Amino acid sequence: MTFDFIKNNILKQNLEISLDHIIILATIAKDKNYNFSEISKSSLRQSIIIHSASIIEGLLFDYIDLIYLDPEYKWKLKSKKVLYKISDTLEIVGGEYHREQIKVDTKTLNIIQLIQILTKNNYISKNLSHNLDKVRILRNGQHLGARDMIQNFSEKDLTFTIQTLKELYIFLQKEYSKINQ
């Protein structure tokens, strides 16, 4: 897996470093010379999932910066006039509504927002979106304080994460080649 289609050299280097780290961890995890406990194996899988999700997030950031041109809009009430007061918390109002463009700074988005925007605007399929969200949930399993049980990261979780990373990678290679033609 190479990231030659990524033009941002800093991002490309960070992706390659994370991928190298994944390869090292996977090699250690498969080494027969180590007799890892199940908890240790789960911890290695967790680290690989976290680094894989970081690669996914970096790829999504780059992709959204490349293709996201659709502005977000909101309705804003101007010249508000209270027509009828029902209670302290409920009023019937009138006025002029204006549609205003919201500037979206993609660098401030988190992974769920990236997935939602790309899905909502049909840049990624619902199936890929679903898989990316499942990886996000696995990655968020790293937060120890939020757990109410010992989380075991299984071989199935790891395989799913790697398959989703590969699915996104193949999709983006095709997308970037279309864009760069």
What does the pLDDT look like over 98-124, one tens digit per residue?
777 666 677 778 889 999 989 988 999
Asked whether residue 75 is assigned to any structural domain, the reply reads no
Structural domain contains residue 94: no
pLDDT for 71 equals: 59
Q: Percentage of the chain with pLDDT > 70?
A: 88
- Contact assessment for residue 164 and residue 135, using Cβ atoms and an 8 Å cutoff: yes
Please report whether residue 56 resides in a domain.
Answer: yes
Average pLDDT over residues 50-64: 94
Q: Is residue 114 part of a domain?
A: no
User: How far is it, in rounded angstroms, from Cα 139 to Cα 53?
Assistant: 6
Is 141 domain-assigned? Answer: yes
The pLDDT value given to residue 21: 94
What pTM does this model have?
Answer: 0.77
Query: DSSP letter string over 6-47?
Result: ---HHHHHHHHHHHHHHHHHHHHHH-TT----HHHHHHHHHH
Which residue has 């927002």 as its token pair?
A: 113
User: Is position 30 within any domain?
Assistant: yes
Please give the distance of CA 137 from its chain centroid, rounded to a whole number: 10
Rg over alpha carbons for the chain, rounded to the nearest Å, is 22
The answer as to whether 142 is a domain residue is yes
Mean pLDDT, the chain, integer: 87
Asked if residues 68 and 50 have their Cβ atoms less than 8 Å apart, the reply is: no
- Distance (Å, rounded) from C-alpha 168 to C-alpha 159? 14
Per-residue pLDDT at 180: 75
Q: What is residue 87's predicted lDDT score, i.e. its pLDDT?
A: 92
Query: E strand or H helix at 137, and its extent?
Result: helix 126-140
Give the number of domains in the chain: 1
Show the domain range for 158.
Answer: 9-68+123-179
* Cβ atoms 169, 60 nearer than 8 A: no
CA–CA distances in Å: residue 142 to residues 52, 53, 97, 126: 13, 11, 44, 25
- Cα dihedral angle (166, 142, 51, 116), rounded to 10 degrees? 50
103 found inside a domain: no
Residue 169's pLDDT is: 96
